[in-house]
């Protein structure tokens, strides 16, 4: 095999040979390039037109992007707190902020929870510590997908077409499902845990066609095992081995059949992907605004009649396909195997 041919099958980031690949300059080019910008990597399309990245690197970059967003959100929140000098001495023992994503491994948390409704359910923190009054959940700002899409029309930000089934095509409740998977949820849990051949996975990362469930002991035992479920739950792929042996199962969890749990799982998936799409497209709008400002110097600028007409024309758009997502976590065609 020639050196050029061999390089074509290697992931451009980790240099491992893989069949689960995503072309950098393919149909999802803009989405992959946005992720590569996080690591300040510039790849010349003329020199490396066939460059690819693997599933694992895409998942890593997506996780890094979410972590970066959370860090900025935390920073903005901390800036709203009163300075130490302004705090009354009687408030020294006030409770410190606790973040929900540091909770128990088995709580079934969803890693990216953009815009989900606040729950009135209270949970107990690990170690028997009760949650302090006034503790706040930190989360990304919630965007209105319709408003974001109107801005995209206004600034001529085009949609990337999606080949293959959409989320709406996949999320149709079937009459029956295989008996090798079901769901569990505790009385105080907000999200479901997937039980696949007796192994438990949660902390789901969603994309347009796939949901990635990670081992519930991913932090405690640094376990890399995960299950990739097609969003119609007709296909599953188990990846990596557990880093731990059999562990004692939690008690008090209620079992749910796929038909019982999937309507809620589908709802959460749609809501998260709508926000992800809105966040991504809103970033494109902000970049377009910045370019316009830079090109016109310090002078204020207004949109021309053509742009205003486009906005008025698109104002009634209900964004029926707002859940369209890149599928950048997919990698292969619609299997086949191809996404939080």
Residue 57, marked binder: yes
N- to C-terminal Cα separation, the chain: 36
Distance CA 223, CA 217 (A): 6
Distance CA 145, CA 323 (A): 9
Residue 54, marked binder: yes
Q: Residue 338, Cβ neighbours under 10 Å: how many?
A: 23
Residue 71, marked binder: no
122 in Cβ contact with 102 (< 8 Å): no
Distance CA 6, CA 22 (A): 16
Distance CA 340, CA 335 (A): 20
Q: Residue 234, Cβ neighbours under 10 Å: how many?
A: 11
Residue 14, marked binder: yes
204 in Cβ contact with 211 (< 8 Å): yes
Could you tell me which residues come within 8 angstroms of residue 200 by beta carbon, excluding any fewer than 6 positions away? 106, 184, 193, 194, 215, 216, 249
Torsion, Cα of 109, 111, 117, 122 (10° steps): 30
Burial class (CB in 10 A: 0-12, 13-18, 19+), 47: exposed
Tokens of 226: 């995960």
Which residues define the annotated binding site for Zn(2+)? Answer: 11, 14, 54, 57
Which residues define the annotated binding site? Answer: 11, 14, 54, 57
């Amino acid at each position: 095999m020639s050196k050029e041919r061999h390089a074509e099958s290697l992931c451009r980031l980790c240099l491992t040979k893989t069949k689960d690949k995503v072309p950098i300059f393919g149909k999802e080019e803009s989405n992959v390039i946005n992720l590569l910008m996080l690591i300040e990597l510039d790849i010349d399309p003329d020199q490396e037109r066939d460059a690819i990245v693997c599933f694992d690197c895409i998942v890593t970059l997506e996780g890094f992007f979410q972590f970066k967003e959370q860090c900025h959100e935390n920073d903005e929140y901390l800036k709203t707190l009163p300075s130490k000098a302004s705090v009354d001495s009687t408030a020294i023992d006030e409770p410190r902020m606790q973040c929900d994503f540091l909770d128990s491994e088995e709580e079934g948390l969803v890693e990216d929870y953009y815009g989900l409704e606040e729950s009135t359910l209270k949970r107990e923190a690990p170690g028997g510590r009760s949650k302090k009054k006034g503790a706040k959940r930190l989360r990304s700002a919630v965007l209105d997908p319709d408003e974001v899409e109107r801005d995209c029309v206004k600034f001529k930000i085009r949609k990337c077409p999606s080949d293959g089934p959409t989320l709406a095509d996949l999320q149709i409740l079937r009459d029956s499902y295989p008996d090798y998977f079901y769901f569990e949820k505790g009385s105080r849990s907000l999200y479901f845990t997937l039980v696949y051949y007796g192994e438990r996975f949660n902390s789901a990362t969603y994309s347009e066609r796939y949901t990635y469930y990670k081992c519930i002991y991913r932090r405690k035992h640094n376990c890399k095992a995960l299950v990739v479920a097609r969003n119609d739950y007709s296909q599953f792929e188990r990846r990596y081995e557990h880093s731990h042996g059999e562990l004692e199962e939690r008690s008090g969890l209620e079992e749910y059949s796929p038909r019982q749990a999937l309507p809620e799982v589908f709802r959460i998936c749609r809501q998260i992907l709508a926000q992800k799409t809105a966040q991504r497209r809103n970033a494109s709008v902000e970049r377009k605004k910045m370019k316009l400002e830079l090109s016109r110097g310090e002078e204020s600028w207004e949109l021309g009649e053509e742009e205003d007409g486009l906005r008025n024309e698109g104002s009634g758009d209900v964004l029926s396909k707002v859940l369209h997502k890149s599928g950048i976590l997919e990698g292969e065609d619609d299997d086949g195997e191809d996404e939080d």
